[in-house]
């Protein structure tokens, strides 16, 4: 993205005002997650930009936000991978480099867990009938709720894996080589949008979704929450609990462990 800064794009920084003031990408605007729908509707003309880039500290809130905005029809919205951690080492030290860990690798299982029988999707209870009205109500509710409950940590999950319905979004070979106990593998391109697939996910438990980096799972989390699930994306993905294993198998299994090679030395302004 750095090479494109002089082009027709808009950078939206979703971090707190304090974080933004400590250093941000030149030309970026600082916006609260909750304020985005109104701002997109009346504050800017979104389609005047070739790309609108969402940026946060680690890339996961921006991925979640990007999914919602794209579902709302803003197809020129993108998320910056790794967030500000990839932009400058200062932010990497405060962000992704603090989030990587291999401390739960010994607890992984290789058993293939079967998905449950479909029981139906959550009731949205909007009282509305048309798809457009229901969608508008759901988007409004999700943005109003804020972003405080969209992520969950590896410590929380491994403390009691049975409390959650855990979805793994990895390739079959990666899943079978080791996953969180109880996790069930769903294919990202064959789950979202298919009622029978979605309906096999129970609506009476918190749903934890994870992938290698937390970016894909953040997109999926937005989709599940839109349809009424209490879904959370695992912060930092596999990087948060099996990092050393990912590094050792980076070539063999095409893992994406965050490393110093992903960190740039791009300038920031205050």
Q: Do the domains 2-98 and 105-253 sit in the same CATH topology, yes or no?
A: yes
2-98 topology per CATH: Oxidized Rhodanese; domain 1 (3.40.250)
Express each pLDDT in 40-84 by its tens digit. Answer: 999 999 999 999 999 999 999 999 999 999 999 999 999 999 999
Report the SS3 class of residue 22.
Answer: coil
Q: How far is it, in rounded angstroms, from Cα 112 to Cα 173? A: 11
Express each pLDDT in 232-243 by its tens digit. Answer: 999 999 999 999
Domain locations in the chain as residue ranges: 2-98, 105-253
Report the SS3 class of residue 241.
Answer: coil
Q: Which helix (H) or strand (E) holds 165?
A: strand 164-168
Site of tokens 């063999």: 252
> 243: which 2 tokens?
């990092």
Q: How far is it, in rounded angstroms, from Cα 151 to Cα 210? A: 10
Per-residue confidence at 159, pLDDT binned at 50, 70, 90? very high
105-253 topology per CATH: Oxidized Rhodanese; domain 1 (3.40.250)
Which residue stretches of the chain are H helix?
Answer: 17-21, 36-38, 60-71, 89-94, 96-99, 131-145, 154-159, 172-177, 195-198, 215-226, 243-248, 250-253
């Amino acid at each position: 993205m750095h090479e494109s800064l002089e082009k027709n794009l808009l950078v939206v920084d979703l971090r707190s005002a304090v974080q933004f003031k400590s250093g941000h990408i030149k030309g970026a605007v600082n916006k609260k997650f909750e304020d985005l729908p109104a701002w997109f509707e009346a504050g800017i003309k979104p389609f005047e930009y070739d790309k609108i880039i969402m940026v946060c500290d680690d890339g996961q809130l921006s991925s979640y936000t990007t999914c919602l905005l794209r579902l709302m029809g803003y197809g020129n919205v993108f998320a910056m991978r790794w967030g500000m951690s990839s932009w400058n080492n200062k932010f990497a030290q405060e962000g992704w480099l603090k989030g990587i860990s291999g401390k739960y690798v010994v607890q992984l299982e290789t058993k293939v867990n079967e998905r449950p029988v479909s029981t139906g999707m959550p009731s949205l209870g909007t009282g509305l009938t048309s798809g457009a009205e229901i969608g508008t109500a759901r988007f409004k509710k999700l943005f109003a709720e804020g972003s405080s409950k969209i992520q969950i940590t590896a410590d929380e999950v491994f403390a009691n894996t049975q409390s959650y319905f855990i979805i793994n979004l990895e390739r079959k070979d990666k899943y079978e080589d080791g996953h969180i106990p109880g996790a069930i593998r769903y294919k990202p391109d064959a789950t979202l949008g298919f009622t029978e697939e979605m309906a096999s996910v129970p609506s009476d438990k918190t749903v934890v979704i994870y992938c290698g980096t937390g970016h894909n799972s953040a997109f999926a989390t937005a989709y599940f929450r839109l349809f009424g699930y209490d879904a959370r994306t695992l912060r930092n993905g596999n990087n948060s609990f099996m990092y050393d294993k990912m590094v050792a198998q980076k070539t063999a299994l095409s893992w994406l462990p965050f490393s110093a090679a992903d960190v740039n030395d791009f300038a920031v302004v205050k």
